[in-house]
Amino acid sequence: MKTLLRHYLLAVLLLGQLGVVSTVQAEVQSLNLFGRSNGENYAVVLDETDWRWLRNKGSLRLGVSAPDYAPFDMITGGQDYEGITADYAELLATMLHVKIEVRRYDSRAEVIQALRLGELDLVGTANSFDGADPEVALTNAYAQAPSALVTRTGAEQMLAPDLSDNRLALLDHYQPTDAVSTAYPKAQLQFYPSAQGAIGAVVFGQADAYLGDAISTHYLVNKHFINDVHLTTLPGVYTTHFSFATNQGNRRLLHILNAALAVIPITDRMTILRRWSAGDMSISGLHPLHFTAAEQRWLEKHPRLTVAVNDSLAPISFFDEQGAFRGISAEVLAKVSQRTGLKFDVLRGNSMDTLIEQIRVGNADLMAAFTPSTERESQLRFTRPYLTNPFVLVTRDESGSPERLEDMVGKKLALRHGNALHDFISQKFPGIELIETTASADAMALVADGQADGAINSLINGRYLIVRKYRDRLRLANVVGLISAQTGFATDRGALELYSILDKALQSIPPEEMDELAGRWHHDVVVDNGGWLHNRTAVIQGFVLSALLLMVAVIWIIYLRRLVSTREKAELALNDQMEFMRVLIDGTPHPIYVRDRQGRLVSCNTAYLEVLGVPREAVMGQKITDSILIGNSDAQTFQAEYIKVMEDGTRWIQDRTYTHKDGVVHTVYHWMLPYHTSDGVVAGIIAGWIDISDRQRLLDQLQNAKKSADDANRAKTTFLATMSHEIRTPMNAVIGMLELAMKKADQGVMDRFAIEVASGAARGLLDLIGDILDIARIESGRLSLTPERASLRELVESVVRMFEGVARQKGLRLLLDFDLKASRDVLIDPLRFKQILSNLLSNAIKFTDVGEVRLSVQAAPGVCGERLALHVQVKDTGIGISTPDQERLFNPFGQASNNHQPSRGGSGLGLVISRTLCEMMQGQLLLTSVLGKGTQIDICLDLLILKPVPVAEFPVAELAVQAWVLNILVIDDYPANRLLLSQQLSFLGHGVSDAEDGAHGLRAWRNGNFDVVITDCNMPVMNGYELTRAIRDEEKASGAEPCMILGFTANAQPEEKDRCLAEGMDDCLFKPISLKDLSARLALVQPGANSVPLGMKMPEREGDIDLSSLQQLTRGDRSAIQNLLGDLANSNEEDMLRLIKLFGEHDLSGLSDLAHRVKGGARIIKARSLIRCCEQLEAASMGPDSALLTEAVDDLQQEMERLAQTLEQHMLDPAL
C-alpha cells in the first residue's frame, strides 16, 4: 500500500512538472527582465571600440530554457523572468547601458543550439556541463556553490560513503556524467529534467539521494521539503561555478561581460544570494575533515568500532522495544559516522564500571556517553562534550523535603559512583552521608523507596525518570554544584588517534546543529511506551473524530460570530491599523520621534526613551531646548535644524555628533523628514537616528592601525639600513684580509696578521649577530637567564684582563677598584653578567681618547646576611653624551651623534641589551654623562650569597686529545661549509667522507661503516631530521649498534637543540664551531670496530702511485683507504667515458675542465704520469692543433686505463 501511495504522489509531482512545461509555447517566448539589482553606480572600464560596439549593438539577447531552475531562472506570471541570473542580467544592462531581451526556449539543448547559431548573444546559469561544448565560452563565475547531497530524513546513516548500489538522482545538465561516475563509480545514476522533480524522487522513495548545487538545493528544500530530507556533502565532487555563456567566436562580448562582472562588489553579490535564501546555507559536511596521515591510516585499519552504551541514561542513551539504540548519543554518533565514514557496533551494558572494564580489556573502543571525572582520568581519555546539563537535587514530592544541599546535612544523599560532584559535596558538606550506586537511576530509586533523602542526577536524565516512573512521587528540588554534567565520548588512554578523530568530528558539528539535536530531547518526553504501538489505530481514529467535532464546532462558532461581527470588524480594522503603526514605530530598534510645528515632541518609540534615558512623560510635549537630554549647544542646533526642515519642506540627512547628558559623545546618522496635512501644509517632522559611534570608532582604530603599520615599516627600513652598514663593515675586513692573504700565499708568503685581523672581524660579526638575536629574544620575551654559582671577583677580573690590551693600545689607564666584601660566591648568570661588563667597558674605551676608565665594584651585606647589595660603576673621561642623545641611546640601534667626532662604529645594541639584562636580574642600570667630560654608568644588583665550596683546579687543554681515528660522515648542502668541516676533522686526524644532501648521505651511510654522522639540519631533498629518523629506523630494524649523529646548524637557539634530540640525534653543534669545541665533542665518542688508534701507520706500497697522502688523511684507517680508492676508481671510469664523449663532440672547454678535474685527483695519489698527461691535454685544448689534441687525448686515455689497473691491484691487496 505504501509503495502504491509513493508511486501515486510521484506521478502527481511529475505531472505537475509536465504541466508547467506544457504551458510554454512551442515557439520562442519573449519575457520581461525583472531584476532587483541596479548597477548605475558602478563604472566599467572598456576601450572606446568596445563602447562603440555596444552602442551599435543596442541590445543583447539573453536565452533561458524550461523548466525553471530555481532560484536562478524563474518565470512568474507567465511573462516576468526573475531570479539570481536575472538580477545579474539587470546589473549588466545598467552598467553597460544596453537593453537585454530575454527569450525562452523549450529545453536546454535548444537554447545552446540557438547560441551556436548566433540567435542569442548570451545564456545564463551556465556551468561546466555547458562549457564542455567547444563552441561555447564561459565568463567568470558570478556565483559558485559546493555540491550538496540530499537524502531522506533518517536514511543518511544507511548510505555507503561511495554511494555503492544507491540510486543517485541528477539534473540532466548539472555536471558531465563522466565526472560524477568517476566520483561515484558504483552508484546507479538517474537523470531528471528539473531539480524539484529529482528531490521529489528522493522524498517519495524513487531515489536514494540527489546530487546538485547547494544554492538551488537549499532553496528548494527550504521551500518545499524542509521536514522530509537532510542536506549534507560527500567528498569527491567539485564546486559548481555559474557563469554566462557566449559563442566561442564572440570574444569581444566575453571580454566586456568579464570586465562588467569584475566590478560588482562582494557586498552586492552577497545581497543577491541572501535575497534568494542562498547567503546563509547551513549544510553539514560542507567543509570535510582534515586528518593527519597517522589518523587516516588508523581509519583505514579500523572501519568498524564497538561502542559501549549504558542503557539507563535515557534520553541520552537507551534502547527501544525493538532493541534499537536511540537517544542523543545515538544521533551524535550518526553525525560522526557521516563525517568520518566510521561504522559503529553497539555493546550494551547497565553500569559505568562494567562499560569501563569493557574498554580496558579491549572489547569496546569507546563509550557513547560519559561524564568526565578526575577518578577516571588515569583510565580513560575524554573528548569535548556534546551535551552540557546541570546537576540537580532530586527529593520526594512532599512537604518538608530538602530544597538545597544545605538541607541535606545529617541526611542520606545517593549518587552514582564516580559522579563529578562527589569530591565537591564531601568537602563542602561533610555532614551529608553519601550513598554510591551503580547508576543514577538506582540513586533515584533509593529516594523513591525511602532509603535515601535525596539523589544527584543530571537535569535531563532526572526529568525523564520522573516523568516516566516517579510522577507525583519525586521532584527536582534545585540545581546544585558549580559545574555541569558534561557528556562526551570516552576512549582508552592509549587510543590517541581515535580520540583525535572523534574530537575533530565533534568540532565540525556547528553549535546550532548540536543545539537543535539536543533540543529535541529536552522536553518531558517518554520513550519505549508500548501503548502507542498496540493502540495506534484507536488513537488515530480518536484524533480524527476529535478533529471533525472541532471543525464542526468552529464552523458553528464562525456562523454565530458573523451575525454580530459587522460592526466589530470596522472597530477591529481601525485598532489593527493603530496597532500596526505602533508596532512599526515602537518595534524599530533605532530611535524615531515626531515633533510638531513648534518643535514639541508629539510621539516617540521606546528606543528613543532608552537611548536618552528618560521616561515618556518627562519629554512628551517638550521642546528639545526645554529638557537637559543633551548639551545646550547641541539642543539649540537641533532646534534650528527642525525649524529649517519645516520651513524648507525638504528632508535633512547627515552624520553628526551630540553630547549625552552623561557626558558621552555619540556619532549618529541623523535624518529628518517633514510631514504634511491633507491640504499640503507642513505639520511637523518625523525624525530619527542610527548610532554609528562603533563604526566611527572602528574607523579611528583603522587610522591608528595604519599609522602603526607605517611606523613598523619605517622601523624595518631603519633596521635593514643599520644592519647592512654594521654587517658590511666587518665583512669588508674579512673579505679584504682574506683576499690579501690569498695573494701573498700565491707568492709563498704566509700572512698570519691578515688572517688574525679577518678572524677578529668575523668574531665581531658573530657578536653582532648574537646581539641581534638577544634583541629579538628581548622583543619576543624569550630572553632567559641561567643563574649558577660564580665568584664575583673572578668574573670581574676576567673581563678586565680581556680589555687591558685594548686600553694599553690607546694609551688609557684601566683601573679596577674591587671591594673585598664582594669576594663572595653568588647566584648569578655569569655569561650575562660578563656580557654587561664587556658592553660597558667596550663603550667606555671606545669613546675615551685620553685619561682613564675606572671600574668600581662595591658591596654591602643585606639585612639578613643572605643577600649582597652589589654596586658596579664604570666611569670614563671620554667625550661624554649630550642630553638629547641620552634619550635615544636605550632604543635598539640608537647611537649618539659623537658630537662631530669621527665614527667609532658599533651597532647601538649594547646598552639596550645591558639594561634589559639588569632588569631581568631585578636590578637597574643608570647613565649619567656630561658632554666633553665623560660618562658614568651605575649598576645595582641584589644577589643571593652562596656558601663557599672547595674549588678544584682543572688543567685547560687547547685541543682535546684524540685517542682514536674515527670514521666520520659529513653531510651539508653548502660546499664551503662541507669543505671546512671536512678539513677541520682531517686536521684532528679523523677519516672523513662527505655528501651534498640527506638522500646521498643515507646511501653513503648504508655503504659505509661510520662512527659519527654530522649533518646539517636544513637541506633540500632530505633534511637532517628526516635523515636521522631514517637511520634510526634502519638501525632498529637490523638490530645494529646505533652510531652517533650530531646536528650542525646555524640556528643557535635552545629550542633547535631540543628538536634535534627529539628527532633522535645525540647532540647539536652550532655554526661556526672552533677546532677546540669540535675536538672536545669528538673525544667523547666511543670508537667502532674498524677504528684504529691515532698515530698507527698503515703499510706503504711501492709502485707508480703514492698512498702516503691517503694514509695521512685517514690516519691509517684501512677501510677508509679502501673506500677512497674505490671512489677514485669509480670516478676514473666515469671520467674515461666522459673523455671519449667530449672528444667526439669536439668540446674543447669540456675537455679542459675534465683534464683539470682528473689532475686534482691524481695529485692526491701523486700519479705523476697522469698529471703530465692532464697538463698536456689542457695545453692542447687551448691551441688550434687538432693532431696534438688527438695525441693528448689518446695518451690521457691510456694513462687512465693503467691507473684503473693499478687501483684494482691496490684494492685487492690484503695488506690494506
Tell me how far CA of residue 963 lies from CA of 525, 820, 981, 986, in angstroms. Answer: 84, 45, 19, 14
- Cell 543530571 found at: 458
pLDDT at site 246: 96
- Segment holding 868, helix H or strand E: strand 867-876
Q: What is the Cα–Cα distance from 1084 to 1078, expressed in whole angstroms?
A: 11
| Cβ neighbours, 10 Å, residue 560 | 10
Is the C-alpha dihedral spanning 334, 336, 341, 343 positive or negative? negative
- For residues 835-841, average pLDDT: 85
Output the pLDDT for position 768.
Answer: 60
Q: Which fold has domain 582-691?
A: Beta-Lactamase (3.30.450)
The whole-angstrom separation of Cα 1210 and Cα 1216 is 8
Question: How far is Cα 1106 from Cα 1110, in angstroms, rounded to an integer?
Answer: 9
> Is 488 within 8 Å of 317 (Cβ atoms)?
no
Supply φ then ψ for residue 1185, to 5 degrees.
-80, 105
Whether the predicted pLDDT of 1059 surpasses 70: yes
CATH topology for 24-143+243-275?
D-Maltodextrin-Binding Protein; domain 2 (3.40.190)
Q: State the pLDDT at residue 282.
A: 47
Cell of 416: 552514582
Between strands 852-861 and 934-946, the pairing is: unpaired
User: Is the peptide bond prior to 71 cis by the omega test (within 30 degrees of 0)?
Assistant: yes
**Cα 681 to Cα 455: distance, rounded to the nearest angstrom:** 75
Same fold, 24-143+243-275 and 964-1094: no
C-alpha cell at 1127: 671512489
Q: Cα(197)–Cα(356) distance, rounded to whole angstroms? A: 50
What rounded mean pLDDT belongs to the chain?
Answer: 80
What pLDDT score does 782 carry?
59
437 bridge partner residues: 416
Confidence of residue 683 (pLDDT cuts 50, 70, 90): confident
Query: What's the pTM?
Result: 0.34
At 240, list the grid cell. 559548481
- CATH T-level topology, domain 784-898+905-946: Heat Shock Protein 90 (3.30.565)
Strands 147-152 and 592-596: unpaired
Count of CB atoms situated within 10 Å of the CB of 953: 5
Return d(Cα 809, Cα 887) in angstroms, integer: 31
- Which top CATH class is 293-528? alpha beta
Question: Regarding beta strands 474-492 and 380-382, do their DSSP bridges make them parallel or antiparallel, or are they unpaired?
Answer: antiparallel
Angstrom distance (rounded) from CA 542 to CA 558? 24
Instruction: Give domain 1120-1212's CATH architecture.
Output: Up-down Bundle (1.20)
Asked whether residue 1207 carries a pLDDT value surpassing 70, the answer given is yes
Tens-digit pLDDT profile for residues 77-117: 788 999 999 999 999 999 999 999 999 999 889 999 999 99
Instruction: For the beta carbon of residue 374, count every other beta carbon within 10 angstroms.
Output: 10
For residue 903, pLDDT beyond 50: no
Distance CA 993, CA 1014 (A): 10
CA-to-CA distance for 969 and 1123, rounded, in angstroms? 12
Kindly report, residue by residue over 388-418, the tens digit of the pLDDT. 888 899 999 988 889 888 888 999 999 988 7
DSSP state letters, 102-160: EEEESSHHHHHHHHHHTS-SEEEEE-HHHHTSTTEEE---SEEE-EEEEEETTTGGGS-
pLDDT tens-place string over residues 955-970: 444 555 555 788 899 9
Domain made up of 147-238: CATH architecture: 3-Layer(aba) Sandwich (3.40)
Q: How far apart are CA 592 and CA 604, in angstroms?
A: 6
Cell 481601525 identifies what position? 574
Q: 346-377, pLDDT tens digit by residue?
A: 998 888 888 888 888 989 999 988 788 777 77
Q: Is the dihedral of CA 570, 572, 576, 578 positive or negative?
A: positive
Residue type at 972 in one-letter notation: D
Kind of pairing between the strands at 325-326 and 147-152: unpaired
Domain 964-1094: CATH superfamily is Response regulator (3.40.50.2300)
Question: Could you read off the pLDDT of 619-649 as tens digits, one per residue?
Answer: 888 888 887 778 788 888 888 888 888 888 8
Helical axes 1118-1145 vs 1186-1212, angle rounded to 10°: 160
Asked if pLDDT for residue 283 goes beyond 70, the answer is no
C-alpha 797/C-alpha 1165 separation (Å) is 53
CB atoms within 10 A of CB 998: 24
**Sign of dihedral through CA atoms 187, 188, 189, 192?**
negative
Nearest to 671, CA basis, from 686, 691, 693, 692: 686
Contacts of 389 (CB under 8 A, 6+ apart): 458, 459, 460, 461, 484, 485, 487
- 585: cell is 514605530
Three-class SS state of 399 = coil
CA distance linking residue 672 with residue 652, whole number of Å: 5
Q: Is residue 413 within 8 Å of residue 425, measured between CB atoms?
A: yes
Report the candidate in 89, 100, 185, 194 with the shortest Cα–Cα distance to residue 142.
89
Band the pLDDT of 13: cuts 50, 70, 90.
Answer: very low
Give the other-Cβ count within 10 Å of 344's Cβ: 20
Question: Coil, strand, or helix at residue 470?
Answer: coil
Domain ranges in the chain are 24-143+243-275, 147-238, 293-528, 582-691, 784-898+905-946, 964-1094, 1120-1212
pLDDT for 785 equals 80
More confident residue, 389 or 443: 443
